[in-house]
Amino acid sequence: MKRKIKLGPIIVILYIIITLIMTYADFKMEKAVEISTIFIIGTFIILFENREISARTMAAVATMSALGGVLRVPCAAIPSFQPVTFIVAVSGYTLGPVNGFMVGAMCAFISNFFLGHGPWTLWQILGWGLCGVFFGKCRNFIKKNELPRFILLCGIWGYIYGTILNQWYVVEFIRPITVNTIITGNILSFWFDTMHAFSNVLFSYFFGRTFINSLERYNKRNSVIRIKS
């Protein structure tokens, strides 16, 4: 019988080793942050690749990724107004945290083929990916008062995503990196983050129920019950 390798402890040990190497090898702060970001993204990709996933679930992940990536392009005319965070939130909530992360990562990757790749792509993948994880993990909390809580958390994630994305600018361009410079960077992006939060609330209010019901129905129709013989 083939024993299944537990990835959790291995990933934790690897991260501790990498952190110690970065500390004692005197890595610059910006490099340490970038390596940590790559490690987090890589971890979720490994978790996704090592899971048993049906073709139908894979199709749902691919569809939501393509939808978010394509719809972001025409919305780029209005700064920070885009449906990606909403689509990633719905995906994480209905398809689970790991699948939600992959939708967020692929939305950024696909849309940036049209809007331009750069150092910000890594942070967009992290920000939207973690959004999918958050909504997947908070499913039980949201379920108690579904749509209002979903809308509220989507709005809050406009600011959380903005804070994450601001770090690429701080890491790449600001010296020295201090608490004050980080706070200043976040304050300067406040209006952009507010527009992002507003668009999240707007999309959630008008399309949240439809998307959630459609994906929940899709999950139920395609679930397979295995009976041991």
Q: Write down the pLDDT at residue 7.
A: 59
Q: Write down the pLDDT at residue 215.
A: 93
Q: Write down the pLDDT at residue 145.
A: 86
Query: CA-CA distance, 157 to 159, in Å (whole number)?
Result: 5
Q: Write down the pLDDT at residue 2.
A: 47
Q: Write down the pLDDT at residue 27.
A: 63
CATH of domain 26-221: 1.10.1760
**How distant, in Å, are the alpha carbons of 28, 94, 136, 210 from that of 150?**
39, 12, 11, 13
pTM of the model: 0.82
Query: Which residues have C-beta within 8 Å of that of residue 219, sequence separation ≥ 6?
Result: 94, 95
Domain extents in the chain = 26-221
Torsion of CA 150, 140, 95, 48, to 10 degrees: 120
Query: CA-CA distance, 85 to 107, in Å (whole number)?
Result: 9
pLDDT along the chain (229 residues), means of 10: 55 64 62 70 76 82 93 90 95 93 92 87 89 93 90 95 85 74 81 94 95 90 58
HEC readout, the chain: CCCCCCHHHHHHHHHHHHHHHHHHCCCCHHHHHHHHHHHHHHHHHHHHHCCCCCHHHHHHHHHHHHHHHHHHHHHCCCCCCCCHHHHHHHHHHHHCHHHHHHHHHHHHHHHHHHHCCCHHHHHHHHHHHHHHHHHHHCHHHHHCCHHHHHHHHHHHHHHHHHHHHHHHHHHHHCCCCCHHHHHHHHHHCHHHHHHHHHHHHHHHHHHHHHHHHHHHHHHHHCCCCCCCC
C-beta of residue 104 within 8 angstroms of C-beta of residue 132: yes
